[in-house]
Chain A
Amino acid sequence: MRALPKPLVLAGFMTMLFLYVPVIILIGLSFNASAMGVTWKGFSIQWYEKLLADPSIMDATINSLIIAVLSTFFSLLLGLGLAIGMEKWRKGHASWMNILILLPLVIPEILMGVALLMVFVFLQVPLGFGSIVIGHMVFNLPLTVVILRARLRKFDPIWEDAARDLGASSWNVLTHITVPMLRPAIVGAALLSFTVSLDDFVVTFFVAGPGSTTLPLKVFSMIKTGLTPEVNALSAIMVVVSMACVGLSWLFQSQAYSFSIKHDSSS
Chain B
Amino acid sequence: MSSILVLKDVVKTHGQVVAVNHVSLTIERGEFFSILGPSGSGKSTLLRVIAGLDIPDSGTITIQERIVNADPPHARPVNMVFQQYALFPHMTVFDNIAFGLKMQRQTQPCIRAAVEEMATLVRLEGKLQRFPEQLSGGEQQRVALGRALVNRPVVLLLDEPLAALDQQLRQDMQAELKHIQEEVNTTFVCVTHQQDEALLVSDRIGVMAAGKLLQVGTPQEIYEQPVSSTVAKFIGLSNSFSGMITRTKSGICWIEQEHFPLMMARCPKGLVAGPVFVVVRPEHIHISVDQPCNDYENTLSAVVHDVAYHGHEVFYYFCLANDSIWTARVPRAEVPTPSLVVGQSLFLQWAAHEGFALSD
Chain A residues within CB distance 8 Å of chain B: 156, 158-159, 161-169, 172, 176-177, 180-181, 183, 257-258, 261-262, 264-267
B108 to chain A: which residues have CB within 8 Å? 267
B89 and A164 within 8 A (CB): no
Report whether B53 and A164 are in contact in the complex, using a CB–CB cutoff of 8 Å. yes
User: When A166-B99, A166-B151 are in contact, do A158 and B91 touch as well, CB less than 8 Å?
Assistant: no
Residue of A177, A258, A262 near B88 (CB, 8 A) is A177
Nearest Cβ on chain B to A29's Cβ, whole angstroms: 46
B217 in contact (CB, < 8 A): no
Least distance between B354 CB and chain A CB atoms (Å): 46
Is the CB–CB distance between A161 and B98 below 8 Å? no
Could you tell me if A162 and B103 are in contact, using CB atoms closer than 8 angstroms?
Answer: no
Complex CA–CA separation, A17 to B100 (angstroms)? 56
Q: Which of A162, A169, A177, A267 contacts B82 (CB 8 A)?
A: A162
User: Provided the pairs A257-B90, A264-B91 are in contact, do residues A165 and B131 lie with their beta carbons within 8 angstroms?
Assistant: no
Q: How far is the CB of A242 from chain B (nearest CB, A)?
A: 30
CB distance from A260 to the nearest CB of B (A): 9
Give Cα A60 to B112, complex, Å.
51
In the complex, which of the residues B86, B90, B92, B131 contacts A162, with contact meaning CB atoms closer than 8 Å? B86
Residue B73 CB within 8 A of the other chain = yes
CA distance A156 to B84 in the complex (A): 11
Mask of B135-179 contacts with A, CB within 8 angstroms, 1/0: 000000000000110010000000000000000000000000000
Nearest A-chain residue to B144, judged by Cβ: A162
Minimal Cβ-Cβ distance residue in A for B84: A158
Q: How far is the CA of A167 from the CA of B152 in the complex (A)?
A: 12
Contacts of A169 in B (CB 8 A): 72, 74, 103
Knowing that A162-B82, A165-B51, A262-B131 touch, tell me 14 more A-B residue pairs with CB under 8 angstroms. A158-B84, A162-B86, A165-B78, A165-B79, A165-B80, A166-B79, A166-B99, A167-B74, A168-B74, A168-B99, A257-B133, A266-B95, A267-B92, A267-B98
Which residues of chain B are near A163, meaning CB under 8 Å? 88, 99
In the complex, which residues of chain A have a beta carbon less than 8 angstroms from the beta carbon of B129? 265
Indicate which residue in A159, A166, A183 contacts B148 across the interface (CB closer than 8 Å). A166
B104 near A: Cβ within 8 Å? yes
Query: Are A165 and B73 closer than 8 Å at their CB atoms?
Result: yes
- Distance in angstroms between the alpha carbons of A258 and B129 in the assembled complex: 13
B94 at the interface (CB under 8 A from A): yes
Q: Which residues of A contact B48 (CB under 8 A)?
A: 161
Contact residue range for chain B? Answer: 35 or more
| Alpha-carbon separation in the docked complex, A267 to B101 (Å) | 12
Judging by beta carbons under 8 Å apart, are A159 and B88 in contact? yes
Chain B neighbourhood of A176, CB < 8 A? 99
Closest B residue to A162 by CB, please name it: B86
In the assembled complex, which residues on chain B have CB atoms less than 8 Å from the CB atom of A180?
90
Q: Is the CB of B103 within 8 A of A172?
A: yes
List residues of B whose CB falls within 8 A of some A CB: 48, 51-53, 72-74, 78-80, 82, 84, 86-92, 94-95, 98-100, 103-104, 108, 111-112, 129, 131, 133, 147-148, 151
CB <8 Å contact, B88 and A265: no
Distance (whole angstroms) from the CB of B157 to the closest CB of chain A? 9
With A156-B86, A164-B53, A165-B79 as given contacts, are A265 and B92 in contact (CB-CB < 8 Å)? yes
Nearest to B74 among chain A residues (CB) is: A167
Shortest beta-carbon distance from B331 to chain A in Å: 46
Counting from the closest, the 3 A-B pairs by CB-CB distance are A167-B103, A162-B86, A166-B100
Beta-carbon contact of B90 and A264 below 8 Å: yes
- Known A-B contacts A181-B89, A264-B91, A265-B92; the reply to A168 vs B131 at CB < 8 A is no
Which chain A residues border B80 with CB–CB below 8 Å? 162, 165
A residues near B84, Cβ cutoff 8 Å: 156, 158
A164 to B91, CA, bound (A): 16
Of listed A163, A165, A257, A262, residue having the most chain B CB within 10 A: A165
Chain B residues contacting A158 (CB-CB under 8 Å) are 82, 84, 86
Give which listed residue, A159, A172, A258, A266, contacts B131 with CB less than 8 A: A258
In the complex, the chain A residue whose C-beta lies closest to that of B111 is A267
Contact of A166 among B52, B72, B90, B103 (CB under 8 A): B103
- Minimum CB–CB distance from A257 to chain B (whole Å) comes to 5
Nearest A residue to B131 via CB reads A258
* A265 touching B86, Cβ below 8 Å: no
Min CB gap A171→B, angstroms: 11
How far in angstroms is the closest Cβ of chain B from A245?
24
CB pair A161–B53 under 8 Å, yes or no, is yes
- Chain B residues contacting A262 (CB-CB under 8 Å) are 131
A165 in contact with B74 (CB, 8 Å): yes
Cβ contacts A to B, 5 pairs, < 8 Å = A164-B52, A164-B53, A165-B53, A168-B103, A267-B92
Let me know if A265 and B147 touch, CB within 8 A. no
Is the pair A161, B100 in contact by a Cβ cutoff of 8 Å? no
A76 to B97 Cα, complex, angstroms: 31
In the complex, which residues of chain B have a beta carbon less than 8 angstroms from the beta carbon of A161? Answer: 48, 53, 73, 82, 86
Residues of B within 8 A of A265 (CB): 91-92, 94-95, 129
- In the complex, the answer to whether A164 meets B95 with C-beta atoms within 8 Å is no
Q: In whole angstroms, how far apart are the Cα atoms of A261 and B90 in the complex? A: 6
Asked if A258 meets B86 with Cβ closer than 8 Å, knowing A166-B99, A167-B103, A265-B91, the reply is no
Q: Please report the C-alpha to C-alpha distance between residue A167 and residue B78 in the assembled complex, in whole angstroms.
A: 10
Measured between beta carbons, the chain B residues less than 8 angstroms from A167 are: 74, 100, 103-104, 151
Chain A residues, CB < 8 A from B151: 166-167
Q: Report if A267-B94 is in contact (Cβ < 8 Å); known contacts: A165-B53, A167-B151.
A: yes
Determine the distance from Cα of A236 to Cα of B204 in the docked complex, in whole angstroms: 75
Chain A nearest CB: distance from B302 CB in Å?
Answer: 49
Q: Which B residues are CB-close (under 8 A) to A257?
A: 89-90, 133
